[in-house]
């Protein structure tokens, strides 16, 4: 009996031990996986809490779970106790607002730099122009009284005439009577008669007859008056035909001289501000190879072409041999007075975004910084810097778009836009020593 009782106690003890072991093991197993999951969620972070996941190419987008981003890139975690990117230290003594690229990568990219120089920009400006008539030499020949064109010596426009050459003959009754009156008083002797003769001559002048016309006229009924060219030139307009009846004041023709011509040059608005009256110019035309025509700007016309947004400059050129003909296309080189030396950078160093322009400064040992600049005139492959640089700095002229892309990924360009004209830089990052893709 005693033995049975002892066996029963042993069975109860074994059952109790089994129950204790079962429940203790279940508690242990339930706590261990939780800790394992916490550690697995951040194996690289040593158990740090993950706030979100993001794509390094688009850091402003946040995701709750790991995996591939919409761009197909593997996302990385953002830890709760991780300092902001702009607080991460870079090399000792290096500003935190600088992009750092491994020197080996810089060499692989073929990054080239150039100094910001202070120089006088080449001021020569080449613009298109057109040869036109010098309107100061235009003379209009018109009828001073009612008449009939009895003969035309010039029958087509653009005929070349010499000074004094006959142009047309007119039959005018009023002229005939005035000439007959003047002719009748030619041989008078009394003082009163001489006064009438002088008055008769003044009447002929009022009717438009010159002394040469009076001498060459055929007196009598139906006398014809010959009109002569007042100067050498070209008959640019011919408004009458032989046998046509004309009235007083009607235009017969226009004679324009060719001893001088005008050049009308089309200046862009940016260049017009540097051109003044008297600015020296040199004009060339394709029709006369090897020849150049020096001159000066006479005036800037006070209107801007609505289509081309250019302002015209008038240039007067001597044309003694008539080689320059109105209508010719010309190339005009203007040479404004050189300005003072200004900071300039090569054109290749500029990165235009449509909102503002920036350059990448090279600060040595693989450190670069994006700087916003305000640009001015450009000439000879260089662009004037009005604000942002003073001279002596080094700017990147090859590979700057790749560095600019890295600055964009680090969020520096967002700060550049927010501070507008202030020099802005990228957050400190360290890139691996491998070639980067094109950042454009």
**Residue 103: which CATH number?**
2.40.420.20
- Rounded Cα–Cα distance for residues 3 and 1 (Å): 5
Q: Which domain holds residue 184?
A: 144-249
What three-state secondary structure class fits 52? strand
pLDDT band of residue 84 (cuts 50, 70, 90) is: very low
Q: 130 and 113: one domain?
A: no
pLDDT band of residue 281 (cuts 50, 70, 90) is: very high
Q: 216 and 264: one domain?
A: no
- What does the pLDDT read at residue 421? 42
Q: 129 and 277: one domain?
A: yes
- What does the pLDDT read at residue 56? 75
Residues 6+ positions from 307 with CB-CB distance below 8 Å: none
Q: 314 and 360: one domain?
A: no
Among 200, 226, 249, the domain boundary falls at 249
pLDDT band of residue 141 (cuts 50, 70, 90) is: very high
- The answer to whether residue 435 sits within a structural domain is no
Q: 353 and 321: one domain?
A: no
- The answer to whether residue 77 sits within a structural domain is yes
Rounded percentage of the chain residues whose pLDDT exceeds 70: 72
In 3D space, the residue among 51, 59, 54 whose CA is nearest the CA of residue 76 turns out to be 54
- What does the pLDDT read at residue 4? 61
The tally of domains found in the chain comes to 5
- The answer to whether residue 41 sits within a structural domain is no
**β-bridge mates for residue 334, sequence order:** 125, 281
Q: 281 and 300: one domain?
A: yes
CB atoms within 10 A of CB 36: 10
Rounded to the nearest integer, the mean pLDDT of the chain is 77
- The answer to whether residue 55 sits within a structural domain is yes
Q: Do the Cβ atoms of 366 and 103 come closer than 8 Å?
A: yes
Strand order in the sheet with 159-161: 138-142, 251-256, 233-238, 159-161
Q: What predicted TM-score, i.e. pTM, was given to this entire model?
A: 0.54
- What does the pLDDT read at residue 435? 39
Over residues 212-222, mean pLDDT = 58
pLDDT band of residue 426 (cuts 50, 70, 90) is: very low
Q: 173 and 245: one domain?
A: yes
Q: 319 and 355: one domain?
A: no
Indicate left, alpha or beta for 84 from its phi (over 0: left) and psi (-120 to 50: alpha). beta
CB atoms within 10 A of CB 376: 14
Q: 278 and 130: one domain?
A: yes
Burial per residue of 172-204, b for 16 or more beta-carbon CB atoms within 10 angstroms, e otherwise: beebbebbebbbebeeeeeeeeeeebeebbebb
Q: 129 and 275: one domain?
A: yes
Q: Residue length, the chain?
A: 440
Tokens of 265: 């040059």
Q: Do the Cβ atoms of 55 and 73 come closer than 8 Å?
A: yes
- Rounded Cα–Cα distance for residues 393 and 379 (Å): 20
- What does the pLDDT read at residue 370? 84
- The answer to whether residue 22 sits within a structural domain is yes
């Amino acid at each position: 009996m005693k033995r049975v009782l002892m066996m029963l106690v042993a069975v109860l003890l074994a059952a109790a031990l089994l129950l204790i072991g079962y429940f203790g093991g279940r508690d242990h197993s339930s706590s261990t996986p939780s800790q394992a999951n916490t550690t697995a969620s951040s194996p690289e972070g040593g158990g740090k809490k993950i706030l979100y996941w993001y794509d390094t190419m688009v850091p402003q987008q946040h995701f709750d779970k790991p995996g591939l981003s919409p761009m197909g890139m593997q996302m990385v975690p953002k830890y709760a106790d991780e300092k902001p990117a702009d607080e991460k230290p870079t090399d000792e003594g290096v500003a935190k607002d600088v992009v750092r690229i491994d020197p080996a990568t810089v060499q692989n990219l073929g990054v080239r730099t150039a100094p910001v120089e202070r120089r006088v920009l080449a001021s020569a400006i080449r613009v298109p122009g057109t040869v036109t008539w010098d309107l100061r030499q235009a003379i209009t020949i018109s009828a001073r009284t009612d008449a009939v064109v009895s003969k035309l010596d010039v029958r087509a426009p653009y005929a070349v005439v010499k000074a004094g050459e006959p142009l047309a003959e007119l039959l005018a009754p009023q002229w005939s009577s005035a000439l007959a009156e003047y002719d009748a008083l030619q041989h008078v002797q009394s003082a009163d008669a001489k006064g009438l003769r002088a008055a008769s001559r003044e009447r002929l002048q009022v009717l438009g007859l010159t002394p040469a016309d009076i001498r060459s006229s055929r007196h009598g009924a139906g006398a014809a008056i010959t009109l002569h060219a007042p100067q050498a030139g070209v008959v640019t307009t011919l408004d009458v035909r032989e046998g046509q009846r004309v009235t007083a004041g009607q235009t017969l023709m226009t004679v324009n001289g060719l001893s001088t011509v005008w050049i009308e040059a089309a200046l862009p608005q940016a260049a017009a501000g540097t051109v003044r009256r008297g600015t020296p110019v040199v004009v060339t035309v394709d029709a006369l190879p090897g020849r150049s025509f020096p001159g000066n700007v006479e005036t800037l016309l006070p209107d801007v072409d609505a289509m081309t947004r250019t302002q015209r400059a008038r240039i007067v050129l001597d044309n003694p041999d008539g080689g320059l003909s109105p209508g010719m296309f010309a190339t005009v080189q203007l040479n404004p007075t050189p300005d003072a030396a200004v900071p300039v950078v090569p054109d290749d160093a500029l990165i235009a975004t449509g909102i503002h322009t920036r350059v990448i400064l090279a600060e040595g040992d693989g450190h670069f910084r994006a700087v916003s600049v305000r640009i001015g005139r450009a000439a000879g492959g260089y662009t004037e810097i009005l604000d942002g640089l003073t001279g002596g700095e080094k700017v990147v002229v090859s590979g700057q778009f790749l560095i600019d892309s890295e600055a964009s990924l680090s969020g520096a360009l967002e700060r550049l836009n927010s501070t507008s004209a202030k020099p802005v830089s990228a957050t400190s990052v360290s890139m691996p020593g491998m070639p980067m893709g094109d950042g454009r």
